[in-house]
Amino acid sequence: MGPCWRRAAAMPAIGRCRTPARRAGAPLRRRAPMPPVPRVLSEGDTTSRESGAGKEARAVPWWRDLTGRIEPRLRRRYRVGLALLAADAGLAALPLLTAAWVIGQLAADTWTSGKAWIAAAIVAGAFLARLAVMPVGFARGFEAGYGAVAELRLALFAHLRRLGLGALSRIGAASLADLVTHRFRWIEEEAGYGLGRQIGHAALVLVLILGLASVHPAFLAAIAVLAGAAALAYRRLDRAFSRLARDQASLVAESAERMVEYLAGLPVLRSLGQVGARQGAYRRQVEALHAFYRATIGTVAPLVSATRILLDLALLALVGIAVTLFALGAIGAPGLAVALVLVLLLLPPLEASVGEGFMLRLVGDAHVRAAAILAQPPLTEGVETPRTGEIRFEGVRFGYDPGRPVLDGFDLVLPHGHVTAVIGPSGAGKSTLLSLLARSFDVEAGRITIGAQDIRAVPLDRHLARLGVVPQDVFLFADTLAGNLRIAKPEATEAECRAAAERACCAGFAAHLPEKDGTRIGEGGRDLSGGERQRVAIARAMLKDAEIVLLDEATSALDAESEHGVGEGLRTLFRGRTVVMIAHRLQTVAQADHIVVMEAGRVVDRGPPAELEARCALYRNLWAAYHDTERWRLT
C-alpha cells in the first residue's frame, strides 16, 4: 500500500456513523445544526464568494476557488509548480517506458548499440531532469498551497466578524479550530503536492493508454469498457468515503466541543464537588467516535481491498486481450512484449491515483465546510452615515429559538442624551434588548432606529464604533492592562489609558500586580477578580468615549467601596450621552433619568422613579424584593 492508501484507509467509515452509537445506547448529542449548506455547496467541491454586503454560493471546485484567492503572481507560480510536479511524475516513469521500448526492440530483434545509447541517454536525462524539476515543483506547490489557505483563513476570519452570535454559536469554537488547524493542513499539503501528483498520474496513465492503443486499437475499446466499470465502482466508493469524511468531522468536532466545555466548566464542577459528573458527556462522545471507527473499519478495509482487486482484474483482462491478440496474429511478439510491459506499468499510477483521490476528497470536504461558513449570511449592513438621536424599538420581534419569541411587537423609546435604566425580573428580556442594539443578533421583524435611521442601514463597524458596551461577562485578552484598554481605542496614548484606568478605579489593583501596568493578565482575564475585570471593562468604555453607552449589570461584581469609587467615573461618562443600563441592584439605577420596567418581553411601565413608585406595582415589588435581599445579606 502506498502512503496515500494508508492515509485513506486510516480515515475509515463507509456507512452511517450514528448506527453504532445508537446501538450502544448512546445517542449522539449534537449542537444545534448549522443551517443547511446551500445545495451547490453540499453536492461537491463548491464555494461561496463575497459580493457586496452578502455572499452568494457558487459551484466552484475547491482548487479553482483556492487558485482564485491567491495573488496573480503566485497563481502563475502555482500553475508552473503543478505542471512541474506532473512532469516529475512523467519523468519518473520515463525509464520504465524506455524499458518497454527496449523489450519491444529486443523482441523484434532490432536492438542496436546506437539504440542502447539512446536508452541510456533517456534514463540519465530523466534522472537529471527530475533533479531540477522536482524541488522547484515541490516548493512552488507548497508555496501556493500555504498561500491559498492563508487567504482562505483570512476570508474566514473576516466573515466571522460579520456574523451574528447565533450563527457563530452554531459553528462552534472547537469545530472551527478543527477545521482551521487539522483540516486546513490537508488542504495546504494536497493543494500543492497532492494535486500535482494526481495530474502527473493522470498524464502518465494517458500516455500508457496511448502506447497500448498504438500497439493495437482493440486495447482502446477494452480500456473504455473497463474505465466505465471502474468509474461506477469508484463513484460508489467516493460517495461512501465522502459521507465518512463528513460524519467523522462532525464526531471529532463534537468531542472537541465537549472537551472545551468540560475544561471551561471545570472550576464550577470542582466547586460543586462534581468533577466526574460531566465526564460522562465527553466519554459518550469518545465512545461514539470509537464505535464509529470500529464499525467502519470493517467496511472500509474490504472496500479498499476490493478496489485493489478490481484494478488487478482490469489489468489481468488487458493481459488476456494482449495474449488473445497475439494468438489471433493481430500483434506480433514485439507488440505483445510492449503491451505486457505497458499494462504492468499502469498499475502503480492507477493505485496511487485512487489513494490520492481519497485524500483529495477529504480536502474537498474540508473546503465545503469552510465554504458553508462563508455562505452563512452576514449581518445586514448598509452604507449610510450614522445619525444621532433617540433610540427606538419599533414592532420588534426576536427569539433565540424558532417559534419562541422573547420580544414580539416590542416598542420602546430611549431618549437621546439621557440615562435610561431597564429593570425587571430575570428572563424579562433586558439583556436581549442590549444584544439587539449591539447587533449581536438581528431582529426578525420590526426595526431598531437611532435618530430615525435603521441601525442596519449603516456599516456594522461604524455602528459598533458609536457604542461603548460594558457586558455582564467581561473577556480580557492575554495582554497588559493598557493593551486590554487599547482594544477600545487603539490610538489611545499612555496618558489616556492611565486616566481611564484611574477613573474606573483600576489603578489600585494594577499597583499590586507583579509588574504593575506591564503585567500580562491571563487570557479571559483569569488572573483578575470579577470586580477587577468589570472595572477594566468600564475603563474601556471610558476610553472609547462613545456616544451611546450600554451597561449590562456593569457593577454587579463590585463591592460597595469600589462601586462608590467607580460611580463618580460613571457619572462623568454618562454626561451628555445616551445611556441604557441594566441592573438588578436597584440602588445602581437610582441615578437614571428614566426607568423602564419589563416583564416577559413587554414594557410594563416607564417613567421617572418617583412616578413609578406611585403607580407601578411591579416596580414597588422589585424594590421590596431588593430591600429584603439587602436585609437578608446583613442578617
Q: Which CB, 431 or 519, lies closer to ligand ATP?
A: 431
DSSP string, 285-314: HHHHHHHHHHHHHHHHHHHHHHHHHHHHHH
For the CB of residue 407, give the shortest distance to ligand ATP in the complex, in Å. Answer: 9
Choose between 234 and 400: whose C-beta lies nearer to ligand ATP: 400
> CB–CB of 185/142 below 8 Å?
no
Q: Whole-angstrom Cα distance, residue 324 to residue 100?
A: 20
CB of 541 to ligand ATP, least distance (A): 19
Q: How far is the CB of 408 from ligand ATP (least distance, A)?
A: 12
Q: How far is CA 152 from CA 104, 141, 189, 376, 441, in A?
A: 51, 16, 14, 15, 25
Nearer to ligand ATP, 501 or 580 (CB): 580
3-state secondary structure of 500: helix
**Nearest to ligand ATP of 486, 533 (CB atom):** 533
- Please write down the HEC assignment for all residues of 107-174: HHCCCCHHHHHHHHHHHHHHHHHHHHHHHHHHHHHHHHHHHHHHHHHHHHHHHHHCCCHHHHHHHCHH
Environment class of residue 434 by beta-carbon count within 10 Å: exposed (0-12), middle (13-18) or buried (19+)? buried
Q: Are strands 47-51 and 54-58 parallel, antiparallel or unpaired?
A: antiparallel
Contact 607, 444 (CB under 8 A): no
* Angstrom distance (rounded) from CA 342 to CA 212: 7
- The least CB distance from residue 425 to ligand ATP, in Å, is 7
**Minimum distance of ligand ATP from residue 421's CB (angstroms):** 13
Q: Report d(CA 255, CA 266) in Å as an integer.
A: 16
Please say which residue, 296 or 432, places its beta carbon nearer to ligand ATP.
432
Whole-angstrom CA distances from 270 to 152, 260, 273, 277, 475 are 40, 16, 5, 10, 22
DSSP 8-state code for residue 401: B
Phi/psi for 546 (5° steps) reads -80, 160
Minimum Å distance from CB 427 to ligand ATP?
Answer: 4
Minimum distance of ligand ATP from residue 433's CB (angstroms): 7
Nearer to ligand ATP, 37 or 433 (CB): 433
Residue closer to ligand ATP by CB (options 99, 165) is: 165
Side-chain half-sphere CA neighbours of 176 within 13 A? 16
In whole angstroms, what is the distance from residue 346 CA to residue 535 CA?
71
| Nearest distance from C-beta of residue 251 to ligand ATP, angstroms | 24
Question: Taking the complex as a whole, how short is the minimal distance between the CB of residue 605 and ligand ATP, in angstroms?
Answer: 16
Nearer to ligand ATP, 401 or 515 (CB): 401
Find the shortest distance in angstroms from Cβ 401 to ligand ATP. 6
Short-list 440, 381, 382, 414, CA closest to 549: 414
CB of 229: closest distance to ligand ATP in angstroms?
A: 53
Shortest Cβ 409–ligand ATP spacing (Å): 16
Q: What is the DSSP letter of 67?
A: H
397-403 contacts, C-beta under 8 A, 24 or more apart: 397/443, 397/444, 397/445, 397/446, 398/432, 398/436, 398/441, 398/443, 398/444, 399/444, 400/166, 400/441
Quick one: which H or E segment has residue 188?
A: helix 184-189
Task: Say how far apart CA 317 and CA 224 lie, in whole Å.
Answer: 13
Q: Is 318 helix (H, G, I), strand (E, B) or coil?
A: helix
In the complex with ligand ATP, the residue whose CB is nearer, 342 or 583, is 583
Q: For residues 278 and 584, which CB has a smaller minimum distance to ligand ATP in the complex?
A: 584
Residue 430: CB minimum distance to ligand ATP, A: 4
10 Å CB burial of residue 140 (0-12, 13-18, 19+) is buried
Sites of contact with ligand ATP (CB under 6 A): 400-401, 406, 424, 426-432
Judge whether 363 and 12 are in contact, CB under 8 Å.
no
